[in-house]
Structure formats: C-alpha cells, structure tokens
Structure 1
Amino acid sequence: MKKNGKRLSVGLLVLALVAVAAVAALVSGQFGGSRQQTAQPSAKQETPGSEAAGNPSTGQTDAGAVKQASIQEKVDIALIGSELEGLYLARAAADEGLKVKVIDPRPAFGGQVLQGEMLFLDETRDEQHRLLVQGRAKELFDGFRAGKIRKLSEFEQYFGKLSKDIPVEQGVNIDGVQLEAGAFGSESKVAGIDYTTKDGVKKRLTANYVVENTDYAAVVSRLKGAVRMPGLEAFYGQKDIEYMSAGFMMKFKNVDWERFQSSFKAMTPKERSAKYGYGSVDHSYAIGLSGMTSKYKPSNDRVFLRGFNAVHQRDGEVLINAFLIYTVNPADDKSVAEAMELGKKEIPLLLEHFRRNITGWEKAELNGFPSYPYIREYNHYETDYVLKVSDMLGARMFWDNVSIGGYPLDLQGTSANKWGIEMGRPDKYGMPLRSFLLKNYDNVILAGKNVGSSAIAYGSARIQPNTSLAAESIGVILGQIQGKKTLRELKEADMPALHSYLESKYAIKVTGVTGRSKIEGWSAEEIAKLDSGEIVYPSYVQKRKK
C-alpha cells in the first residue's frame, strides 16, 4: 500500500508540473508579443472544386479576438480571392521570385470559372479580327478554341498549373483590415489582414501589396477611403444600386450536336429565320438564335432568357451562357442563395423549351448545376486613373500600359433594361497600370472585375483577356522592381525597360501598338456626352454622318 501511495503522489506531482507549464505557455502565447508563432508557407493547397461552393461570411470578430491571433505570416503579395484574373498576377509574381499567398473567403476555389462554371470564353480581337489575347491566358484561349479545354476537369487542370506551389487557404473569414500611415494619410496603407481559417484558427497576413481579387470587394469594401463611383443605376436613372445581371450557366447532356448543326445548315435563310431568328451554328458554337429564345416565357420577372452563347463540350455535352438573373448582390449571402434557387427552378423549364424547339435536342437532359452564379459586376471603386468610354473608342494608349484591350462595350441587362445595350465597338485600346491601383491607398491592387473604369466603359474592360493580361504584367513588374521602387513611384522613364522585359521574356507586347480611333474629330462636348452615356455610339454615329 505504501508503494502504491508513493507512486500516486509522484504521479500527481508530475501532472501538476505539466499543468503549470501549460498555463505559462498559454500566457506567453497570448501576451508575450516577442514569442508569437510565425506561420511557414505551405505548398499544400485545396484541390480546386473539391468543396461545395457557398457564400462568404461578412461578419467581423471583436477587436480583442483579432489581437489574439497567434499565427502571423509575412509575404510579398497577398491575393484575396481565387478568381482567374488575379491568379495570373500571383503566378507571374511567384515566377519572378516573390513570396505569394492566396486567401479566399469563398469556400471553394476558382470563382467565376470553376464554381460558376462560366466555361464559355470570350476572345478579344481588333476590328481586323486579329487576336488580342496575350500572355499565359493565350494557352487557355487557344485550348478552348481548339476544343481541348472545354470541360470543367480540363479548366481545373489549367487552374492547377497557375496555382502550383502557391499556398492557398479557402473558406477564410476576414475579421478586419489593419491600416498604418502611408503617402496618402495616417491610415492609407494596408498593414495586415486579420482572418479566421475554416478550422477556427486566427491569423494575420501582412504583405507589401494586397490584391483585391474577389467578386464582391471583400477587402476594398472595408476601406473607408475607397470611393465608390456611380454604377449603371446612374445611367438608367434608377434610385437603387443595381449591377449587371448575374448568369446561371445551363448544362445539358445527350444533345445530338451533329444533327443540330446539319439541320441548321440545311435550312433556307427564310426557314432558319422563322425557326431560330438571327444566329449561327457550327461544329463548336451556337450563337444567337434569339427568335427561339424570345418565345420562352419566364416563370417570374427576375429571370430572363437572352440569345445563346452555347459551346459543344464534346460527347453531347453542351454549356450555355444565356440565362440571366436580375438584382443579385454578390456581397449578400441571402441574395446569392435566392439566385441559385431561381436558377435551379427555371432550368428544367428551359430544357423543355429547348427539347420542343431545337432539332437534335429532343433527348437532351440536365447535366447538373453550377455551384455559384456567374457574377458580372459589383461596385466600381476609384483608381488613380479611371478608364472612360472615349479612351476605348478613341484607341488611347498610355505610357504605363499593362494590357491591350478590346471587345464591344457590352452592358448586360438589368431589371430596368432586360436585354442590355451595346455602347460601341472599339478597335483596341490601352489599359494603364494606374487603373489597377486603388486611389488613396499605397499598396492595394485591383484585379479582374475590380478594374478602375466607369460603369459604361466596364462593358468592355471586364472581359477576361483584358484584365488577365494586366494582372500578369503587374505581377512581372512587381518582381522586377522589388526592393527598388514601389508601383506608384514608377515614372514614364521607367516603363520602356519594363515593357521590353515583358516582351522579351514573356512575349507580352503592350507598347508600340496603335489602334483606330472611332471618335476622331469629335468635339469636347460630344466626348463628354459619350463618356456620361448621353450619347450611345452606334445610334449617334449614324446620325452624325448625315
């Protein structure tokens, strides 16, 4: 009994010492700032598309909880969100030797492309039909055109190459943004992003540059100095803020595409017009067919079927970008959930319409639903230079070009104008670095659909090849100026060497390019009205010539 009692006493003493040590470690971890753990970047990342997509939480934790973040990490570039365009910046910067990390408030990787399954790619071409797509995006667009990158799994593989060895954390909750003094004031530089991982771990990420790459301005919307510019509500005279309609990608299988195509081509122009209206069909694409789509009567006024942008993904699988949902706010979980429900309810009805009205679609079936809507637009925030309609139609080039853009000024529908409107067709135009630098902040870069442009100019600026090339160019430039200058310190005299490097190493040519101005000889008053939307170019130019 004495031996057992002695062993029990020793055991209790050991347990007590362990408990004391644990308490000491906890106190040191919470209050001993010099002993905070520093996270090491991990090569492991979430598998693209492996989780069910959902919506971010926009709530904030209290300041005390944020301060207790035990894991801190410092990188050169912090990319917020995993949309395609910003990933080009991340890839380029990493290849240039910079330390990059992606944190994404969305639960699953790949944004508009992988989760929204917006797999119909819009190319950019000039008015001579010459391809404007450059950089790493060219591989994607060439593969899509050739029929090699058409299905979701093939897009996932491409995304995997872009994000290889770049650490990615999905499903984070952004708790707060830490600011410090910068060139524009006492709180004009982002010092850190406080966030909670999906496993409940609190972290702080600091970076030389923060890149906004979400579809709802997850970080920028928190910055008081970020200025929201007027949106389409100003153009349409609406009281409330409204964005371009969201898309809900339609996915079908068991389509006899060969029969669809051959039947279409065998019709006389009169027969074709009577059945389908205006449009075209070839071995890969079906475009328009608005005579057929306009006969569909939606079940409610928040949804609309416009003309087709349909792609044959091979094996009888077809993806269509044509179904619109109005008044969707990507920053509002409830709004996004409602949009998903509207889409899932309407698509089966649309399938029945297609079965009855399209030759070769009689046995078509649903092929699932995307995990998330295709978000076209959110708030437009002011940048150092805001792209205007006259820049695009005037073929303006800039000393700090980071992209050569093209594409019609395509304003997709809103509840006020369900069909949308085209405001003109540029030849080509430059996109300056300054249109991707958030005004009033030292180190915030805007990527993708966050580009600094007026709401009307955004109709062209938003197209993926335009902002993808800009992001890649900026990533390369960041690598080249690291430790020498900041982006805002770059002057016109610095750009020729950077442009030359982009062209020689990456085959990206953004200087020495000229386009044809569509507004040559216009008065200052006409140009001002063009930029404000008082002049709709396609209709006005016809009257002007008379």
Structure 2
Amino acid sequence: MRLRNPRVQLVIALAVLLIVICGFTYGKVWLKQGKVEPTSVTAPSTIHQDKPNSLEPSTVPTAGTKNENVSTYPTEQVDVVVIGSELEGLYLARAAADEGLKVKILDPHQAFGGQILQSQMLFLDETRDDQGHVLVQGRVKELFDGFRNAKIRKLPEFTSYMNKLVKDIPIESGIVIQEIEQVQTPDNMHKVASLVYSNEKNEKKKVTATYWVENSDYAALISRLGAKRLPGLEKFYGQKEIEYMSAGMMMKFKNVDWKKFNTAFNLLKPEEKSKQFGGGYVSDSFAIGLSGMTKAYHPSNDRVFLRGLNAVNQRDGDVLINALLVYTVDPSKPESIQEAVNLGNKETALILPHFRKTLPGWEHAELGEQPTYPYVREYNHYEMDYVLKPSDLLSGTMFWDNVSIGGYPLDLQGTSANKWGIEMGRPDKYGMPLRSFLLKNYENVIAAGKNVGSSAIAYGSTRIQPNTSLAAESIGVILGQVHGKQKLREITPEEMAKFQQYLSAHYQIKLTGVTAANKISGWNADEIAKLDTGEITYPSYIQTRKKPLTKK
C-alpha cells in the first residue's frame, strides 16, 4: 500500500537515514592516533569483527576529524608495509619484493638509512661461534665481506649498497602516522587493516596491507598499538626510571697515519702495550680496546663517556670510531636526540687533542664530518609470541621455526647506572624463532631489527645486525611463499621445514641441522631462572660454580 501522507513519508525517510548513518558509524571504528608518549602503552582501540560483510574501510568516516571522510584520501593497497629504513628490515623488504610481493617503505625519519647512513655507524660487528666460524649468512654477508675486505668502508660505499638493496621499492621519508585502523579477527586476534599518514608536504594518504613490519629505532608503529612493554634494563639495575643502553656518537677523523699507528703499536712488547694503552689490538684495518688510553681521558660532563675503541681504518687517512657513549637518551623524543648530537659532537672535539697526544700517527689528525643523528642501541622491548631469554642463548637452543642462527656475547652497553656496561655471557650460537618476530595478539604485525622479541639481557646479543638481518630476510622469503595461502601463525612444523629447505636451496641460508654448545648443561631450574633475571652473571658465576669443594 502506498503512503500518501507527506509527514509520514518524511518521518520514514529520516528514520531510514538515521539507521544508515548509525550503521556506518558503528560498523567500523578508527583509532585516532595522536602524539603518544612511547614509554607508556596505549590501550587497545575499539575494534570491530573482521567479517566478509563488513564495510570497506575507505567508506567509513574517521573519528576525530571534521567534515572529512577517509575515502577522500589517496589510497594504495600493497602486500607489505615496512615502517622505518633501518638496515635489518630492508632485507625483509628486498626478499619479499624478490618473491613477487608489492612492498612499500614508510620512514618516519626525514632521511633514509637509519643507523648506517644517518648515524654513520659504519663499524660492523661480525658474529662467530666458539670455533671462530663466521655465522653471517644471507644477503647481509655481501656487506660484511665487503667491510672485512676494506671494499665497503666509507659512507658513499654503504650508501651505494643500501640503495641497491631497496632498488625499485617505493620509499616515502618524513611521514607521520595519523590514524591506524584495527579490526578484530574471528579468533579474537587484533589486526592492523590500514593506516593514514601525512607526508612531508602535509598531504594525507592511506595505505592498506596484508602485513606491517616495525623497522624503526623507536617503535613508531608498535608503540601506538595495544602492545605490552617488557621490563628493561631499569629492572636489572634497580632503577625507578626507564633507561635504555647508551646511545653512541660516531667519531670521524681525517689525516691519520694509520700505517704509523699500526707499526708503532705492534713494535711494543706486551707489557709496554699494557702500560701505554691498557692493551688492545691494532691491525691494518682495526683498532680494538686500548681502554687504558681512553680511561685517561676525563669527560666534560656525566652524560658522556669514552670507553674502549672500536676503530676502523676507512683508508686515505680517514678513521671512524665507535667508543663515545651518551647516556639517558630517549629515541622517541626529538629533543633528546638533538641533545645527544650536541653533547656527542662537542665531546668529540675535546677528545681529538687527547688522541693527538697519546696515539702515534695521530699527531696531525683533524675532525671529520660529524654525524647528525646518534647510534641508537635500544628502545622499548615489546612482547612477541616468544621472548628470547639468556638461557635460550647460552644453551644453544634451536627452534623448529628458526629464521636465523645467531651469535655474539650478551653485551649490555653502559647506562648511567653502570657506565662501562657488563657482559652477561658468551653463547656458542643459537636459534632465533619466527615467533620472536610476531607481535603477540596481533595477526599481521612483524618486528624487525632492534624490535626483536627479547628480554633486556638477552638483547645484548640478539640486537647484533647479522642476527636480525638474516631473520628479516628469511621472513621476507616466507611471506612470499605463504602469500594468499595461509597466515604466518598457521605454519606447522612440517611446513616450516619445507620453507627452511627452500631458503637453503634458493638463498643458501642454513637454518636446520645446526648444533651448538650448551653452556648451562647440568644447571638446575633455580640457576636458570636466576640467569634469566640477571641475578646470575654468567662469566663470574661459572668460575665459582666450577671450583671443586675443598675439605676443611
């Protein structure tokens, strides 16, 4: 029957319109991302069920904006979005792209290259096992071989390498994350569906992706999700405030006569080396230690500290040194970063006369180009599906879902509470599982590089570049293999074995059949628990534990 009363028709029309508006508003909720203090964890957003009949995100109004609809943003759909341009995550981007996936890099920093290019952290730490065998595998091996052989030592050479690594992968630098859409999956997992970001021109864009990779040095994405922050070094040192491992300011010098330095040092007898320099090691390429010489330098303030040298001969009189520490730096705060740069570069100028006076071949040394960004070692640790512990590393545990074979001492760099830092043990080698790179309770968020799922103590080793670079590359390959078929979390041990075989056959990456020395064999549960919390410092405890009981 047709209604002829205009008032009734108007009421019905208004009711229908109201239902439609409510449906759109209730159907999907967007998490408006304002400036969040990254040291605290944001509460999980309101989320909707991810069902086939749900509205497309591009049609949903964005909460907190005025007269603006998400559908007006230029929208791009890709397979993988990598947040940040640190070296480690770029291997995931490269591998995923090589496997046929569409990858995009969004960098919250103004310039590309992270700690390698912007911090000029060009001294690479190689991983080896107890027998001295190199553990570096995958695409990163080219970089480490070039560094060791003096073919990749200067900034332009690193730049060329990294540009090759991201060839044909689109990159936008200087982005700001504005909004993140989260949905809830039928199995009650969180899922990032899309994000809106602004570029350097303050233009807003939207991107959707199947997987999101956290590859920044201050957890630009994960810190804004409902992720759990794990205890950091502040618990180990008994501090009330959160503090990270010291940042480093790379020191660059020119007009150094490295040949004279090397020759003069190695003509000394061991006791003379110890007396003049506190021991150490100098070769054609590297100078390590000389901590007696650095101890003789008195910093201008308590925020900076000169530890033993990690120096590399960059050729042509150029030398780069990783030894200057800056304490209490928060990488999530631009003002803290700039303060670190100012403190570090000022101190480098004061250190130069000390080097001229105490090191042979440095008499005419001058300051080189000073970096504009510090070398950030650590930020918050967030809970992944599996959190690596010191006992995993020192026992040489291998996992069914290995994506990397790691190594390196548990090297906790200094903080204001312990300026020299401390070594917590030396593993032979150990496995790193896929689960340690999957953000807990999130279906499609992957951690890369410094964001690895690791306790603060185990992080002393897991953080080293070859370890997480290999993991990232392996994960990138696996993403290509599972694309459109299954989720990373659905991979079974049998399927993982096939992916590991594929990695071995096509990428020369060996993740299975590896055995490692168990350095805590015979330890009881109480000892292992204390090792994992830091109550036991392995290097000192193992000496006490080995001492035979003597009769009185």
TM class by shorter chain equals 0.7 to 0.9
Question: Quick one: which amino acid aligns to residue 73 of structure 2?
Answer: S
Q: Which SS does the other structure have where 1:200 is aligned?
A: coil
Matches within 5 A, 1:66-465: 67-68=69-70, 69-182=72-185, 185=188, 188-224=190-226, 226-465=227-466
Unaligned runs of 5+ in 2: 1-20, 22-33, 38-61, 548-552
CA apart distance, 1:259 = 0.4
CA distance in 2, matches of 1:268, 1:521: 42
CA distance in 2, matches of 1:289, 1:194: 50
**Aligned position for 1:5:** none
- Give a deviation string over 1:205-260, Cα, whole Å, max 9, x none: 11000000000000100012x00000000000000000000000000000000000
Contact 2:229/2:382 (8 A) holds in 1: yes
Contact 2:410/2:457 (8 A) holds in 1: yes
Contact 1:279/1:288 (8 A) holds in 2: yes
Q: Which SS does the other structure have where 2:541 is aligned?
A: helix
CA distance in 2, matches of 1:337, 1:324: 15
Q: Which SS does the other structure have where 2:212 is aligned?
A: strand
Evaluate the alpha carbon distance shift between residue 62 and residue 316 of structure 1 in structure 2; reply closer, same or farther with a 3 A threshold.
farther
CA distance in 2, matches of 1:104, 1:516: 40
Contact 2:36/2:224 (8 A) holds in 1: no
CA distance in 2, matches of 1:176, 1:231: 28
Give the TM-score normalised by structure 2.
0.87
- Give a deviation string over 1:57-76, Cα, whole Å, max 9, x none: 95799831674452111100
Question: Quick one: which amino acid aligns to residue 333 of structure 1?
Answer: P
Evaluate the alpha carbon distance shift between residue 67 and residue 293 of structure 1 in structure 2; reply closer, same or farther with a 3 A threshold.
farther
Contact 1:254/1:317 (8 A) holds in 2: yes
Question: Quick one: which amino acid aligns to residue 474 of structure 1?
Answer: I
**Aligned position for 2:45:** none
Question: Quick one: which amino acid aligns to residue 542 of structure 2?
Answer: V
CA distance in 1, matches of 2:372, 2:163: 19
CA apart distance, 1:274 = 1.3
**Aligned position for 2:26:** none
Question: Quick one: which amino acid aligns to residue 314 of structure 2?
Answer: Q
1:511 aligns with 2:485: no
CA distance in 2, matches of 1:234, 1:511: 35
Q: Which SS does the other structure have where 1:85 is aligned?
A: helix
Contact 1:88/1:471 (8 A) holds in 2: yes
- Give a deviation string over 1:75-100, Cα, whole Å, max 9, x none: 00000000000000000000000000
Give the TM-score normalised by structure 1.
0.88
- Give a deviation string over 1:347-386, Cα, whole Å, max 9, x none: 1101111011101001000011112100000000000000
* Matched-pair identity in %: 66
CA apart distance, 1:439 = 0.2
Contact 1:404/1:428 (8 A) holds in 2: yes
Contact 1:179/1:189 (8 A) holds in 2: yes
CA apart distance, 1:520 = 0.5
CA distance in 2, matches of 1:227, 1:272: 49
Unaligned runs of 5+ in 1: 1-30, 32-56
CA distance in 2, matches of 1:444, 1:317: 41
Contact 1:132/1:406 (8 A) holds in 2: yes
Q: Which SS does the other structure have where 2:314 is aligned?
A: strand
- Give a deviation string over 1:409-440, Cα, whole Å, max 9, x none: 00000000000000000000000000000001
Contact 1:58/1:174 (8 A) holds in 2: no
Contact 2:382/2:453 (8 A) holds in 1: yes
Contact 2:270/2:279 (8 A) holds in 1: no
CA apart distance, 1:113 = 0.5
CA distance in 1, matches of 2:184, 2:63: 23
CA distance in 2, matches of 1:83, 1:189: 24
CA distance in 2, matches of 1:58, 1:351: 40
Matches within 5 A, 1:48-67: 58=35, 63-64=64-65, 67=69
Q: Which SS does the other structure have where 1:380 is aligned?
A: coil
Question: Quick one: which amino acid aligns to residue 427 of structure 1?
Answer: D
Q: Cα RMSD over matched residues?
A: 1.5
